[in-house]
A and B are shown apart, each in its own frame.
Chain A
């Protein structure tokens, strides 16, 4: 039986057509943003420059692709159709009459569907890991910069210790299958996931300690939600069975947080040392505010500009890290559709087939590019003030 092919023009049309939910969502969000850009603050200002619009557009495109992945992708990312092995782009699958838009890979899976589903893995892990790294970096960087002295020396030494590891070595040591038999990843997860709970508890405590009616509600919510997620992620003991993470993914997650939090720590520490000399901090000190109130409610809000820019860049960097992990076959399952694993599989066969290699590389590149453009225009906008 011979596989029939459609023309290159029809492939392009077909791919654009498959993304229809993404285009609709993109049109609604971008249209609304343009209409109300005066009222949207920093986000609205992004739409003043071409670079900003392109950056937001690319990021939203991949966000919606991840959300609507099961509608966009014609096939299951793991499904194998033997006749489609190494099929060229545009091959028609004989049973369902659906098209393998970007061809089939060496295991006869649809390259297009795998690319679409790969975005889900990246868009869940990268922002979440960056979020945790921000929490860890902020919670440790604020006191290091504010108090200075011994705390600063010890914490900075630890941060430099982690930064002195070449990332690839760190991953080879931390993301091996053997390490899952030891308690190390769980201990590290237990430590890192404590930081958000501590952060929010201190945040609400310092602000509302004289208003118990608000305080108890917020603290209670933090502890219940935080504890629930904590139990689910670290001990896999969520009583409702909603929060669950695969041990492999937990390991990757922890390693990525571990590798990127010292960078956040350094930035927060530097910003804190700069901001603590300002007059409004002196005013707060004279009022007799507690040190943690000053750090979290006076210094942190004024450090948000550079932190937002850094967070954008860092999500992109985390995406690159995840790709590196996939490329070396560390942590993620070998059949996982994430972009790094797909690049690894395809790059070994570049001599015979190039079509499975291009979609994941271009996807990864465009997403990171979108984030970098976004960060660049955010930086420009925040410099204008």
Chain B
């Protein structure tokens, strides 16, 4: 078991290294750097001035040197002030050191956000905690509802309950967040006026009024999928011999479902729930933009829209990390929950 986890961790580190190189390469493509220079300098700057801005802020060093600096295996060099010839800070708002230092991801320095004029860490981590609250609410709503629907549908395969719930889950998987978000806003905010169509005020304080719509919108897409997986798993368990044995020895249907079927049927949905996180991440971006909630997704869109290189790199690192760690947890957890694999 330990060697399995270690091997998976090794693969994960390699994957992260490859992914960050790819992201670093794509973000630092020449057109993107040009756009950054244009947005950071005054209007009507000539091509030479843009070029000197890029060189002056260290964007024209060798690609691998810059990647090494970002990662923290090469020292970050202060830039040289063209006028005085002395070392100067790259961005004054970040307190960059004036002597070469190892200061990258490995040292915990995420770099400098050019859009928000502050360090990436001070922007990214509050956003992450805001999104964490949202995700927690979503999971608290999504998991019980979807498991309940899946179990009710899979308990008696082919019954009317099963068919109704299955069609409902198919319908919910056909409703991406930007569709359900619009429909819910129209119904609950525009027509009924029960809920707030914007979650911008949720940063100050979360209330039922401003937080229900984002949570509902995010949960609905996942509910159908998890419910269908739970149903399939439940249907399979209900046809097993030990269920028939339990029924034949005279136990009631309810207690067979709760005591014998449920525990075995919930192994597969666990994996599915864990693998839902990457999908939730895309949903989070859509929902946060739609409801103006200042979280991780909102930050990612701002960073991407403004070519904020370090912030976007930080966001990519976090999202890739979440995807990989949930994959690891789902694998390890599956082996742990399923006795047949655990013994091997």
Contacts and interface: CB of A to CB of B under 8 A. Distances in A.
Contacts of B166: 376
Contact of B26 (A51, A160, A174, A365): A174
A168 interface: yes
Q: Describe A's contact surface by its main secondary structure.
A: helix
Interface stretch (A78-86, A211-219, A323-331): A323-331
29 contacts: A161-B15, A164-B19, A164-B278, A164-B323, A164-B324, A165-B320, A166-B282, A168-B285, A168-B286, A169-B23, A169-B319, A172-B312, A173-B23, A173-B26, A178-B35, A181-B31, A182-B29, A184-B29, A320-B176, A324-B176, A324-B282, A328-B301, A347-B185, A347-B290, A354-B190, A358-B182, A361-B178, A361-B179, A368-B175
Interface string B271-305: 00000001001100110011000000100110010
Interface of B: 11, 15, 18-19, 22-23, 26-27, 29-32, 34-35, 166-167, 170-171, 173-176, 178-179, 181-183, 185-186, 189-190, 197, 278, 281-282, 285-286, 289-290, 297, 300-301, 304, 312, 315-316, 319-320, 323-324, 327
Contacts, number: 127
Interface in A324-368: 324, 327-328, 340, 343-344, 346-347, 350-351, 354, 357-358, 361, 364-365, 368
Given A347-B178, A354-B190, A369-B171, A166 B286 contact: no
Contacts of A369: 170-171, 174
Nearest to A316: B174
A144 B312 CA distance: 34
A167 B189 CA distance: 29
Contacts of B32: 176, 178
A178 B306 CA distance: 12
B29 A350 contact: no
Interface of A: 51, 157, 160-161, 163-169, 172-174, 176-179, 181-182, 184, 316, 320, 323-324, 327-328, 340, 343-344, 346-347, 350-351, 354, 357-358, 361, 364-365, 368-369, 371-373, 376
A161 B18 contact: yes
Contacts of B324: 164
B190 A368 contact: no
A327 B286 contact: yes
B182 A346 contact: yes
Given A346-B182, A351-B190, A365 B278 contact: no
B301 A368 contact: no
Nearest to B277: A166
Contacts of A323: 176, 178-179
Contact of A365 (B175, B189, B297): B175
A172 B299 CA distance: 13
B181 to A, nearest CB: 7
B185 A350 contact: yes
Given A173-B23, A328-B289, A350-B185, 14 more contacts: A165-B320, A167-B278, A168-B285, A182-B29, A182-B30, A184-B29, A324-B176, A324-B282, A347-B178, A350-B186, A350-B189, A350-B190, A358-B182, A372-B174
